[in-house]
Chains A and B, each alone.
Chain A
Amino acid sequence: MKTGSNERLLLKGVAENNRKAIETIYLDNFRMVQTMIVANNGSSDDAKDIFQEAMIVLLEKARSGTFELNCQISTYLYSVGRRLWLKKLNQLQRGPVEIEQAIEVIPVEDDLDIFEKQDSDFQNMEKAMYGLGEPCRSLLEAYYLRKKTMLEIADSFGYTNADNAKNQKYKCLMRLKKLFFDHYKNED
């Protein structure tokens, strides 16, 4: 019973980007996933990539608020990591196509379908952002991600006033939106 409430707290922490919670989960589960991947033709770098991707799946799940605690976090991470690694192995044709189950796994296919969609949105935005170049990327990051005001941006990017910065932001934003929606529409 006690572990159940602990796990719930940890999940809440992940959803809130609480570092301590993330660190705890990382410490408790990374080696297990690493062992599985290394035992199946992977390197510890692969393990890091796969584990962090699984953590992102967990994050999305925790944030969506629909996470039913019908299994332990470790079971979930292991199951997701295992699926992701199987997929990767298939892509690379490095086999084996079956991974021996060290612990019980739960079906996570639905979650991964949702994740795939979210992931392609993310990659889209990332591609568009990097396609922008500087200073546009930093400027938009400052405004939309770090929530800086136009005045602060004008100051740190060396624009003479907030209006100039706003002008520049508009131009950058239009370019970004075009890049983003070009990909976006191509996909649907």
Chain B
Amino acid sequence: MEEINMLDSIERYIRGEMLPEERVFFEHLRKSSPSVDQMVVEHTIFLNRMNKYGERKQFQRVLEDVHGKLEQTGELSEFQPGRLVRIWKKYQRVVAVAASIAGITALAISGLVSYVSPKSTDTKYQQLSRRLDNLDKKQNALYSNIINEMKQKEPVDAKMKLGGTGFMVDVKGYLLTDAHILSNARAVVVQNYKGEQYKATILLADANSDLAILKIDDEDFKPYAILPYGISRSGADLGEPIFTMGYPRDEIVYGEGYMSAKTGFEGDTLACQIAVAANPGNSGGPVLNKNGEIIGVLSARQMQAQGVVFAIKAKYIYKVIDSLKTDTSYSSIRLPANTQLKGMERIQQVKRLEDCIFLVKTY
């Protein structure tokens, strides 16, 4: 206890937080005791390095963030544009003059043409828009094909399409959820437990594992400092107690259960079976063990039997992230490997988890 207080005094002394009298007393002590003096010197060096360390960490985070943002908007795109831009700058004026001459000529010609045959432009416009329509139809057909395929594999409750749950796997705003939630989705909005909403984009939806990755793409979103949970590579044992959190309704809901089988529906080795009360909307939510390690992702593929729920094993999270990382623009994604929730009361664990679990709404 004495040492703790001593260190406390030293820290307050270095930070200049001592009252004048206390300071005089401490300085006296420092003069009379070489060991105290040594501690002060050492700790000053240490705190200085610590501050520098913190500043640089912070700066690196900003750099990483700026890089990510600029890369996404395409403003850093590859080396080729660099050269192009230089050439462009060099010849900008020549090009501008040439372009304006071309523009004037084109205007004159089109004016002449429209004067001669004013109706023809009209039909051209229509044709163009019809082609767009066609394209749209084709795309829709393509989409529904994919959806049908997915539907066959996962007989999901119709209600689930409305929304599900997702959780953060990287502090920069990468979320993991179930792929089946996103079928049909034209726009995705995620909402935290406080009701704050952010726009998100789908980066990857893997129908095989039924896992999908979203990225929050919203100016209002601030990257988190740290994620409280770790993602387990090893899985869980039979009978191990587990808990889940998710959004079967607009409010975050907590559920408890246990691991009931190491394989999923019809012996599916991708998944495991858990006994927990889950509803549609719980899909995509994390399944955690008592240490706060994520051991699976709730997929709720089969809902006929009460309390029989399947979860995709957490090690497949690493697999989908790895496949996303083959695209170098996402190579900076870091999954949290260590839990900070070990040994905590459940209430405390849940409090820290709430922040990282989102309601996923598709439109």
Contacts from A to B (Cβ < 8 Å): 17, 19, 22-23, 26-27, 30-32, 34-35, 38-39, 44-45, 48, 52, 55-56, 59, 63, 118, 121-122, 124-126, 129, 133-135, 138, 141, 144-146, 156-158, 166-167, 170, 173, 177, 180-181
Contact = CB atoms under 8 A, between A and B. Distances in A.
B137 interface: no
Given A17-B59, A27-B76, A158-B345, 15 more contacts: A17-B55, A17-B62, A19-B66, A23-B69, A26-B67, A31-B85, A35-B83, A52-B63, A52-B67, A126-B53, A135-B340, A138-B340, A145-B58, A157-B344, A177-B46
Given A30-B70, A48-B67, A145 B42 contact: no
A56 B54 CA distance: 13
B345 to A, nearest CB: 6
9 contacts: A26-B66, A27-B75, A35-B83, A56-B59, A122-B52, A122-B56, A125-B49, A158-B343, A170-B4
Contacts of A173: 7
Nearest to A140: B50
B111 interface: no
A148 to B, nearest CB: 11
A156 B352 contact: yes
B21 interface: no
Contact of A138 (B63, B75, B226): B226
A122 B55 CA distance: 10
Given A126-B53, A158-B344, A27 B70 contact: yes
B362 interface: no
Interface of B: 3-4, 7-8, 42, 46-47, 49-60, 62-64, 66-67, 69-70, 75-76, 78-79, 81-83, 85, 225-226, 328, 331, 338-340, 342-345, 348-349, 352
A126 B53 CA distance: 8
Contact of A158 (B42, B63, B75, B348): B348
Interface of B (DSSP majority class): helix
B339 A134 contact: yes
Contact of B76 (A31, A38, A56, A141): A31
A68 B67 CA distance: 27
B340 A55 contact: no
A118 B59 CA distance: 15
Contacts of A52: 60, 63-64, 67
User: Which 9 residue pairs spanning A and B have beta carbons closest together?
Assistant: A158-B344, A145-B54, A158-B348, A31-B82, A125-B53, A35-B82, A38-B79, A170-B4, A52-B63
Interface of A (DSSP majority class): helix
Contacts of B59: 17, 55-56, 59
Contacts of A118: 52
B62 A30 contact: no
A34 B81 CA distance: 11
B52 A34 contact: no
